[in-house]
Amino acid sequence: MLRFEHLRHKPPSLLSRPRELIVVCAPLKSNVNLSNILRTASCCGVQKVIATGQAKVDKSIARDGAEEIELVVHRTLPPVLKELKIAGYQLVGLEQTTNSTLLPEFRFVRKTALVIGNERHGLGDDALAILDAVVEIPVYGLPYSYNVATATAMALYEFCRQDPQS
């Protein structure tokens, strides 16, 4: 009988080059959500998160690598999006809209800013007007959308799964 040894905690694999992915958050109601987003972003090799509004991080939740992420806080979202667009980022909103593309069908480019909306109100019309694309995650029950931190984790995983090279 063959026996395989399973290592419970394998060391992290280093990326051959840093991800050109930035997570941008509209003002969130819950610092727990922002802290969870930071932790997930760290797992995905994201190096920068931009938060807007009164952003605060709970370090006991964000832990394990999130301190390596550059966290930048701005007052409002639209000026940040305009700056990222000028810098050449494809702005991809995570939102349910009439013209959104289902996440499994969307193809990310390497230089992407993933824009996350508020837990209750999503992304405002002013932000949606600036975006290059909008993706949504299919929901098969109630409520009609996933928790913002969970949805962000799904979108980050899909970006990493695709590992866009250009």
Mean pLDDT by runs of 10 across the 166 residues of the chain is 68 74 97 96 94 93 85 97 98 96 97 96 96 96 93 97 82
The pLDDT score that the predictor gives to residue 163 is 87
Q: Which one-letter amino acid corresponds to residue 130?
A: I
Tally of CB atoms within 10 A around 160: 17
How high is the pLDDT of residue 12?
A: 64
Give the number of other Cβ atoms within 10 Å of residue 60's Cβ: 7
Long-range interactions of 67-75: CB distance < 8 A, separation 24+:
68/42, 69/38, 69/41, 69/42, 71/38, 72/48, 74/50
pLDDT of residue 8: 66
Residue 125's pLDDT is 96
pTM of the model: 0.91
**Rounded CA gap, 87 and 116, in Å?**
19
The residues near 3 (Cβ < 8 Å, ≥ 6 apart) are none
pLDDT at 3: 72
Q: How far apart are CA 95 and CA 71, in angstroms?
A: 22
Q: Which domains does the chain carry?
A: 24-162 (3.40.1280.10)
Listed residue (84, 140, 145, 154) closest to 118, CA to CA: 145
- In degrees to the nearest 10, what's the CA dihedral of 89, 93, 97, 99? 20
